[in-house]
Structure 1
């Protein structure tokens, strides 16, 4: 009886290559973003590989993700920036390696009043995105507060996304002015460029770090191509079984007609389904078997079914999401939205 479960292959070589390429090309330190289980790659694997490569600073969305990284006792001197606001009840037992974001003026005042060291605080400035950050209009009041208590911080940052190049450049210039107005020497780290911002604006050497999310994993934005970065994740497994459905009405829970099976009725089963985060949305997309493309006809909780020809045998390797960009054009969904959902029951394997 064959097993043939699916798994996620993480290329250590490509992850290190992307890290080194981005640092060298943009002459900057990196603050890699490892939120959402490192975009589905596995937060412990990615943080460990990058740490071994010399990266000591990471960013995540939530406090629980920061502590997940710190489960690795080898990451003794790393720093982890938390993007989202942290509950005040978590302040007293805060690990010294955790850096909090002041996403409002009230956040900042509460942290200082509750005794959070300012060396564990980064200020976020909002230039109009409406998500997080101290409003640009509050900068003068912020300056008065900082000078009154002579505060120095872990860093200051902002965010670029969905901006035209010229508009993004204007925001970057405004952010530089804010940093100089507040006092550049008050901040150990300064950063604004996410992956798209890196591509559009490079690095002016004014900021201490660039902040790659998808680029550290070799993932491209649809319509934007970053030269030379390499894909880190591959979702693969093997054919578990093959059945002939001739003279049968159903494939799993659906009629053969609704699953678009035509002609040859050899159906291969693979052990992955929406219970693994491989959504039904992927029905009628392509996979690759032995270098040849085939259509996925049906997806259930634990299995998916592919119409194959006689060249396909039990145990043959199957690659899902063989072309990340093609996913967007077929489903109108960014690949990140799909790989972030890949379940922990899919083993991650370093190659």
Structure 2
């Protein structure tokens, strides 16, 4: 069990989300950076879809009420167990009574905390994720606050403790850190259904200019600022299905990227869709970061998603091989 020592409505219990409910108007939700959460779970011996904590308000502090394993992945955050530093993307054991502090990121926007066994909250529609819009899941549909106590799921995997720590470095991480340091992140997109309805100069601007993440950015989506994207002629569309990654363009011409808690339908023209394998980059891009969109094709998108899944499998296999998995 852990006790939360800091408040922050933006810090949420999340797993990999609820799938199969879009037709009921319920977004998938779940971790914004699902790869980071899956790796954090792997480092403590959990299955990829165990619930952890998505941290986007720092510092985040918690105290252990029992000996257990924990891991932090995602943003490049200084982490300390009492006064002992812990490397980024690292898992280790800690003892009852110790306090863990996850500080403000040097790079990135969201950190993911996994504890051995996963967090024990009641599933809703097959997921333990917090849905802020619907006000259910996690801790009663709200963010964590000071004094909350979170229990480890009894009898789950990852319940055995290690004595030594370990870390991982995903293959795309070093280059991504460099992009964040430069304040310029490239994400790949597929052409949207209305891509050809935009004027040629708008399509060129979309692919060759930068769009900055504005302060109007949350788990639902990011509003971007950059060269306006104009249509050939005004178009009225019936509301249609949208998903995380959909890039819509309202009348202002400034694009909106839908993210984890994306609306399930909308009527703005869709110029593109961020490929699923690159959504984690947007999750880690802070307000003020510049985004450059790169048009790709469906074969590349599928291959990138397959490579990401294969890398996660290799990471899990390596942890098992070294005997660190609980």
Q: What TM-score range do you get, normalising by the shorter chain?
A: under 0.3
TM-score normalised by L of structure 1: 0.25
Q: Point out the structure with max Rg over C-alpha.
A: 1
More strand by share: 2
TM-score normalised by L of structure 2: 0.26
More helix by share: 1
